[in-house]
Structure 1
Amino acid sequence: MAWMLAIVLLGLMARLFRIDHQPLWLDEALTLQRIHLGLSGLMADSFTNRHMPTYFLLLRVVSPFFGTGDDWLRIPSALFGAMSAGMVFVIASRIGSRNAGIVAGLLMALSPLQVQYGQEARSYTLVTLLIAVALWGLLRLAEQPLRASIDVRRSDADRMGWGAYVLSTIAALDVLGDAVPWLIASNLSLLLIWRSLADLSSARAFCRNWIGSVIAIIACTAPFYAAIFAASDGHMLQKFDWIPQMSWQHMWVVAGSVYLMRMVAVVKFDLMHTAVPLLGAMVALAGCMGLFRMRAKLQGRVLLLSVLVLPLLILSISLFKSMLLPRYVLWSAVPFFVLVGLGADVLPRRAWAMAATLLLLLGVVNLGPVYRMETKPRWDMAAATLAANVRPGDTVFTGDPNAPTMLSVLHPKGELPLESTTLVTSQLDEALARWRQGSRVWAVNGRSALGQREELSDFKNRVAALGTPVVEIPQGKEITILMFPAPDEVEPN
């Protein structure tokens, strides 16, 4: 218990440290807007945007217990992420030893990508935690197949294993659709457990429990997915056209960030600078060793399925419609880090203590860029700059259609809303018409979410009809503000 609490505390410290360093980005801004809608509006907006309303309802409930700033939205994610590290420790300790649990827990606690999503107001860390609990239950069933085959109504049945698996799977599916591949992986694992039972009566009894779990899961989740399908008019995959096309480079970005302790830019499909380049190779080597050690055990096959099913399913879909994103593969890090911990467990006891200490130090150093580098566009700076300089009658043109939402959400507190005195538009024709009528135009180049970025030179060519900007203000790495005076303010040559 003491070691588990230490892992959870370390994970929480890593996620709470400078949690307000990065500004909200588009997904978080939409979270903030959604939780302030009425109950019916929150539900409808969630289903329309292919989201379960569960997490947003949770934020709405807990909001009175946190501060008034926007950053409180990220605190639940930090808590769930830290608890996930604790669950990884518990799983690895149960299958291997305490040493295996410490290594696996440290990796989960200090993974740059896990920390990044632990500092983001979205539901990814909650789903990761729930699947970790479900995996713990599933591994209990794999550990004692005969006990798992006892009717759950009997007192000597493994109610804890079945209950953890079924209830956590239901909860994960009802929070985010990213958990659907877990349902596939877990049922393939249950198939392996069923096949391991040589006794026919035990196999039949296990099958009854298995079928009961499937019925319970489907009954508690299908209505929500039906609502999402209905709200999307049946065109689910077509609405993911903002995801970059799959490539070898993108596959490396996903693998490096999810499994190999690398940090990824939120709005760019690219890995960021790493402080400890060799850490990823060490993790990969230990993971292969863990897989080799567990190759003949039923629990090892369950872990392998839990690691592989999600990325392989995403890759298969991406052959037709690109779906490859690090956050869509995030929860598969749980079984992977368990395997890494089991691989590290082969070290002699004397060498292990030194290796664990080294892992802690390297992991902390490797997190440094997470707290220093800009990984999200500085729309907060852009909103503050415009609030301080725009005057009544001006026009703000944004190249990104979602930028008006960002400027509205991140507008400085206490200032009049930008829209009250200024037209904010992403339509260039509208901005040009206003400019011809005597309005100054502030043109904002920058993206709010993942997608193709318009280079500043191309943006300037697109707005060339406005003349030559008299002010050019960079706002971080991603955003630039140009100010074009009204036609009657331009001095003749």
Structure 2
Amino acid sequence: MNTPTRDLDRPITPATASQGRTRAPVLVPAALATVLGSWGLTRRDSMWRDESVTYQVAHRSLGELLELLGRIDAVHGLYYLLMHGVFALWDGGLPALRLPSVLATALAAAGVGALGTRLAGPRTGVLAGVLFALFPATQQYAQEGRSYALVTAGVVWATYLLLRGLGSAARGWWVGYGLLLGVACWVHEFAALVLFAHAVTLRLLRVPGRVWRRWGVAAAGALVAVGPLVVVSAGQADRQLGWLGRPSLAMWLAFLAVSALGLLLSRVPALADRTVTALALPLLIVPPGLLITGSLLKPWYVDRYVLYALAGLALLGGVALDRLPVRLGTAPRKGTAWLLAAALVAAWLPASLAVRAPESRKDDVAAVARTVRELAEPGDGVLFLPSRRREWLMSYPALRARLDDLALARSPVASRTLQGTELPPDAIRARLLATPRVLALTDPDGQPIDPFPQEAVKRRTLKAYFQECERVRVWGGQVVVYVRKPGPGSVAVRGEGCERR
């Protein structure tokens, strides 16, 4: 791209001083993101298993939490510590779990607005920030008790500081850039991938050597700061991400489609802005591109790990929405705007409703817990197939205390793990045979089954010595009630012995 060299002691933005002082590009997107994040915040009182991990880990004591991070999930350690503090101040259930993500999304939307204003003026800033807030993916992670919205806010504002550093001789912008990016990387290491996007931006803008040196020092500082986390989490990587497979065809198609849309917006002569493109296009394509390509060797790709890339698409879309009506001429401008607005609402509303439904996540641990509460009787045993589904009850300690966890050897806290450790196969079999009634919490039909010895003995013992009495399917899981079959010499009749006590 033949972008001319800029005088980097002058602001990179074409906006005037009065435009730069306007607050609308920051306040409007932030307000909209807050409203959208608050809308249906509890998702019909549902919670999925990753959020349950946040909830139960953040409720451990500080010592227990630090012991856990030494073994697993160090990559989320700073976020868990933040949520530990949130729950210490306000143990407000699902709203408290998700409110930090709502606020972080509002901050990220404000940052996109500030970027758009700096690059192309306040109207573009407002449109880009609003567009970012309206993205279904933005809304989804604004209502999730995980770290991705916080990472996005950190990366967006670090990018803003980068942009200010390009247009100023002051070193303070670069100090702030390095510090903020270092914190974002501590919240989630894959925030560091934005450094590659920023390097491409500097190359496209043909910045002088002194800018490269300042950026290099700030970037190196951020990487050095996050170095200890990288060392610890590298030793946990197999346990942390071992569940991931290589990117599917659907993942590749989604990445390519979003990238193609960004390229299209950047190449339309009537809409293109070289400065915006130099910043937004690498931000959109480079971090997810590196992660998905690298996952051909080591499967680490999940799109939410690089959620912040959507800020690049919002910037490109903001420019398009700002300039397209002008290019179409005065007469059709109002009609075109209304037609475009109607089309956007028609596409946006169903998607926005969908991300607020329990079915938008892989499972619903709250629904599982409600079902167990309805079915459980005194003296019942509980069995998790597979063992990692113990997470379905981890956020409900009072309910877990009513049931005998038949396979559990050491509790999650005692074992410094997320879901505890299990007994040897023979001990699991013996405990099962000593229990007349068992609630089995299982994956939906058709899911792969774990081949591990403990899992195999659970399935064999249930099949040989128990009869199924009731099966309740909930989103992402099942609760199956089993009772012991009649003794030797008796004829088992389906349903016999299944009466509730």
What's the counterpart of residue 5 of structure 2?
Answer: none
Percent identity, aligned pairs only, is 24
The alpha-carbon deviation at position 132 of structure 1 amounts to 0.5
Which of 422, 438, 443 is 2:440 aligned to?
443
Which of 84, 109, 117 is 2:141 aligned to?
117
1:378 aligns with 2:379: no
Q: Secondary structure at the match of 1:209?
A: helix
- CA distance in 2: counterparts of 1:299 and 1:381, whole angstroms: 45
Please show how residues 9-408 of structure 1 align to structure 2 within 5 Å: 9-21=31-43, 23-47=46-70, 48-142=72-166, 144=167, 147=168, 150=169, 157=170, 159-160=172-173, 162-193=174-205, 195-197=206-208, 203=209, 205-229=210-234, 231-232=235-236, 236=237, 239-253=240-254, 259=258, 288-292=264-268, 297-349=274-326, 350-351=333-334, 353-354=337-338, 357-358=341-342, 361-362=345-346, 363-372=348-357, 374-376=359-361, 377-408=363-394
- CA distance in 2: counterparts of 1:225 and 1:438, whole angstroms: 45
Residue identity opposite 1:391 in structure 2: E
Alpha carbon RMSD of aligned pairs, Å?
Answer: 3.3
Q: 1:187 to 1:45 in 2, by over 3 A?
A: farther
Q: Secondary structure at the match of 1:341?
A: helix
The alpha-carbon deviation at position 431 of structure 1 amounts to 5.5
Contact 1:7–1:106, Cα closer than 8 Å, also in 2: yes
Contact 1:287–1:340, Cα closer than 8 Å, also in 2: no
Contact 1:379–1:410, Cα closer than 8 Å, also in 2: no
- CA distance in 1: counterparts of 2:65 and 2:405, whole angstroms: 28
What's the counterpart of residue 464 of structure 2?
Answer: 465
The alpha-carbon deviation at position 327 of structure 1 amounts to 0.8
The alpha-carbon deviation at position 333 of structure 1 amounts to 0.6
The alpha-carbon deviation at position 434 of structure 1 amounts to 3.6
Q: Which moved more, 1:46-55 or 1:333-342?
A: 46-55
- CA distance in 1: counterparts of 2:248 and 2:74, whole angstroms: 25
The alpha-carbon deviation at position 253 of structure 1 amounts to 4.7
The alpha-carbon deviation at position 332 of structure 1 amounts to 0.7
Q: Secondary structure at the match of 2:323?
A: coil
Contact 1:310–1:332, Cα closer than 8 Å, also in 2: yes
Give the aligned length: 436
What's the counterpart of residue 270 of structure 1?
Answer: none
TM-score by length of 1: 0.77
Runs of 5+ unmatched residues, structure 2: 1-22, 327-332, 409-421, 451-455, 494-501
Q: Which moved more, 1:370-379 or 1:337-346?
A: 370-379
The alpha-carbon deviation at position 119 of structure 1 amounts to 1.1
The alpha-carbon deviation at position 192 of structure 1 amounts to 4.5
Contact 2:52–2:394, Cα closer than 8 Å, also in 1: no
What's the counterpart of residue 418 of structure 1?
Answer: 402
- CA distance in 2: counterparts of 1:454 and 1:368, whole angstroms: 33
Contact 2:246–2:296, Cα closer than 8 Å, also in 1: no
Residue identity opposite 1:396 in structure 2: V
TM-score by length of 2: 0.76
What's the counterpart of residue 28 of structure 2?
Answer: 6
What's the counterpart of residue 485 of structure 2?
Answer: 487
Q: Secondary structure at the match of 1:348?
A: helix
Deviations 1:306-345 (CA, angstroms, capped at 9, x unpaired): 2221122112211112222121231111112111211222
Deviations 1:266-305 (CA, angstroms, capped at 9, x unpaired): xxxxxxxxxxxxxxxxxx7576223545867344223222
Q: Secondary structure at the match of 1:469?
A: strand
Q: 1:184 to 1:397 in 2, by over 3 A?
A: same
- CA distance in 2: counterparts of 1:88 and 1:356, whole angstroms: 22
